[in-house]
């Protein structure tokens, strides 16, 4: 007869799910933040070029460029659904006026339409009303992609800023525009990545695939290609490709991202970053749709810090427990084990023999996961 203390099959299955999550999160520490992306919806009721009060919306984007005859042409995107022949002619003219886009191979620029088929305009040849700083894109990319320093204090210092330099306007046209797998060539030692902004123009296909250390994230911009500005930022050593455009015009602005000497303070993240662009998203989504994962309980509700202390448990443990009593939370499931305490700060300990004291601290981040029936139907919506 089986012992009553033996774990049930349901408990064993739950433990296995938690183990998988622990392994996955641990594996993401080095690679989860190699890419991020999002979108800025278009406010068609705002005049092109003027920024609305809510910077999460963008007015239609204007592009002005120089033609071969040294004349200036102008195009506003997205094209109206009832676009007249002049607007459609402007889009066709932009495609015609672009030069064939090359790619770097060794120390040479190579033209090969089987590897890359696209058009380009150099920054000196065009102007645009769009800038990523107007919508908080750069500030949010900084929070995710800027490299960490050795300490949290250094990470919070205001000199960690990013500068975007416009590099190219590219047009990938259906039915054959593409760019096969490649890694960008950094333009200076201060460049850490690239920002690609897809302007609102209808197209189908053209999925962007970004890979890093065996991890892969795909960006399918075709579904909202005519109604939103969509963007992605990634490190310079990421391999990426653009799948074949089936139809339409995929128009992008590419910016080189550099670390610079900045002013000001860190800016908190906002919803302009699409959580679906983070590589942890899909794995968490798979867990949350499993009925056996957190079926009947709600787990966690806040961030619980452990208080910093340099006490010796044998001498002062009872006093600390009296002042800061622990709280038993049977509904909390730990993923992984507590990490080692990290040094928080040093101080002068005064007394008969003054000395340097050290304070250690660590914290636990508790996520709130509703029961299955409560989260069913709107998992990570």
Residues linked to residue 216 through DSSP beta bridges, in sequence order:
211
> Of 138-147, 337-346, 359-368, which has the strongest mean pLDDT?
138-147
pLDDT digits (tens, 9 = 90+) for 173-225: 999 999 999 998 777 888 989 999 999 999 999 999 999 888 899 999 999 99
Q: How far apart are the first and last CA of the chain?
A: 46
Question: Nearest-CA neighbor of 234 among 251, 250, 222, 217?
Answer: 217
The mean pLDDT of 58-64, rounded to a whole number, is: 95
How do the domains of the chain map onto residue ranges? Answer: 33-279, 303-365
> What would you report as the CA-atom Rg of the chain, rounded to the nearest whole angstrom?
26
CA distance linking residue 61 with residue 73, whole number of Å: 14
Above 80 in pLDDT, residue 321?
Answer: no
> Distance between CA 172 and CA 119 in Å, rounded?
7
Domain 33-279 has CATH 1.10.540: no
Mean pLDDT of the chain: 77
- pLDDT tens figures, 163-173: 899 999 999 99
Could you tell me the pTM of the whole model?
A: 0.64
More confident residue, 84 or 192: 192
């Amino acid at each position: 007869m089986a012992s009553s203390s033996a774990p049930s099959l349901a408990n064993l299955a739950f433990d296995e799910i938690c183990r998988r999550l622990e392994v996955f999160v641990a594996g993401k520490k080095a690679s989860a933040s190699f890419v991020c992306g999002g979108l800025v919806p278009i406010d068609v009721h705002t005049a092109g070029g003027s920024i609305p009060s809510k910077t999460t919306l963008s007015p239609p984007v204007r592009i002005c460029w120089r033609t071969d005859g040294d004349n200036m042409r102008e195009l506003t995107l997205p094209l109206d659904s009832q676009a007249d022949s002049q607007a459609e002619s402007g889009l066709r003219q932009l495609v015609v006026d672009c030069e064939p886009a090359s790619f770097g191979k060794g120390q040479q620029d190579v033209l090969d339409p089987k590897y890359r088929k696209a058009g380009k305009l150099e920054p000196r040849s065009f102007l645009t009303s769009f800038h990523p700083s107007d919508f908080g894109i750069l500030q949010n990319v900084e929070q995710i992609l800027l490299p960490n320093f050795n300490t949290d204090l250094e990470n919070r210092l205001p000199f960690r800023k990013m500068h975007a330099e416009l590099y190219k306007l590219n047009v990938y046209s259906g039915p054959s525009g593409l760019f096969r797998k490649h890694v960008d060539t950094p333009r200076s030692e201060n460049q850490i990545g690239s920002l690609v902004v897809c302007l609102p123009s209808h197209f189908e296909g053209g999925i962007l695939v970004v890979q890093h250390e065996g991890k892969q994230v795909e960006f399918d911009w075709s579904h909202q290609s005519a109604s939103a500005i969509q963007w992605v930022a990634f490190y310079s050593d990421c391999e990426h490709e653009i799948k074949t455009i089936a139809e339409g015009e995929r128009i992008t602005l590419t910016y080189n991202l550099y670390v610079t000497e900045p002013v000001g303070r860190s800016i908190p993240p906002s919803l302009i970053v699409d959580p679906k662009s983070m590589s942890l998203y899909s794995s968490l989504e798979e867990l949350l749709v499993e009925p056996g994962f957190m079926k009947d309980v709600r787990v966690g509700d806040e961030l619980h810090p452990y208080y910093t202390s340099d006490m010796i448990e044998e001498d002062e443990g009872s006093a600390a427990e009296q002042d800061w009593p622990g709280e038993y939370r049977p509904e909390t499931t730990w993923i992984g084990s507590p990490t080692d305490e990290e040094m928080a700060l040093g101080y002068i300990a005064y007394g008969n023999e003054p000395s340097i004291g050290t304070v250690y601290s660590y914290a636990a981040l508790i996520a709130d996961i509703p029961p299955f029936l409560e989260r069913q139907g709107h998992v990570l919506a």
